[in-house]
Structure 1
Amino acid sequence: MKLIQVFIPLTDNTGNHFPESYFTQLKSAFSEKYGGVTVYKQMPIEGFWKETKATAEKDVLVIFEVLTDTLDISYWKDLKTQLETTFRQKDLLIRYWEITVV
């Protein structure tokens, strides 16, 4: 089984919050496709990175998790491109692990 995590910023690069409908649509899409989704939105999740040595960037994030038996790489690559456009990101993190559910 695979555990897939999608990291989405709550705000754009100027600090404006994305519409709640963006998150609701993604939650609905994952629920429909995978039969469920876990959304980590209430705790402060922060991501930090550096574009250059002088500048540190920060995102406040929401994490969407789904479980699936198979990994459709083309689906996730297409979704990543779509989400980068929707959320105006240069890069967006989607990662997965092989897990055992007991």
Structure 2
Amino acid sequence: MYLIQLLLPLYDNDRQALPKSLFRTVSDELIERFGGLTTYSRAPASGYWLEDDDNTVHDESVVYEVMVDELDREWWAGYRTELERRFRQKALVVRAHSLTLL
């Protein structure tokens, strides 16, 4: 089993707030495909990284999670690319963690 996490930005690269409808669409898609979804959206996560070794970049994200039995890397790679287009991002983080239920 795997835990898939999607880090979705609240703002595009021009610091414009992204419409709530984008997030609702992703929620609907994931629930329909995987039968459930957990979102961490109350307190956005703040990310910081260096760009061009000098410029510190800041982003605020929400985390969406789904659990899957099998990891379909090809599907997730395509979905990540589609989300990058929708959310107007150069790159989005979609990560998978191996999961053991206790």
Q: TM-score, normalised by structure 1?
A: 0.95
Task: Map 1:1-102; keep pairs closer than 5 Å.
Answer: 1-102=1-102
Identity of aligned residues (%): 37
State the number of aligned residues. Answer: 102
Higher relative strand content: 2
| CA deviation after TM superposition for structure 1 residue 14, in Å | 2.4
| CA deviation after TM superposition for structure 1 residue 35, in Å | 0.6
Instruction: State the Cα RMSD in Å.
Output: 0.9
**Distance between the aligned counterparts of 1:44 and 1:82, measured in 2?**
22
**Distance between the aligned counterparts of 1:88 and 1:51, measured in 2?**
18
**3-state SS, counterpart of residue 36 of structure 1:** coil
Unaligned stretches of 5+ in structure 2?
Answer: none
Q: Quick one: which amino acid aligns to residue 59 of structure 1?
A: D
- 1:18-41: per-residue Cα shift (whole Å, max 9, x none)? 111100000011101111000111
Q: Quick one: which amino acid aligns to residue 27 of structure 2?
A: K
Unaligned stretches of 5+ in structure 1?
Answer: none
Q: Quick one: which amino acid aligns to residue 30 of structure 1?
A: L
**Distance between the aligned counterparts of 1:47 and 1:17, measured in 2?**
16
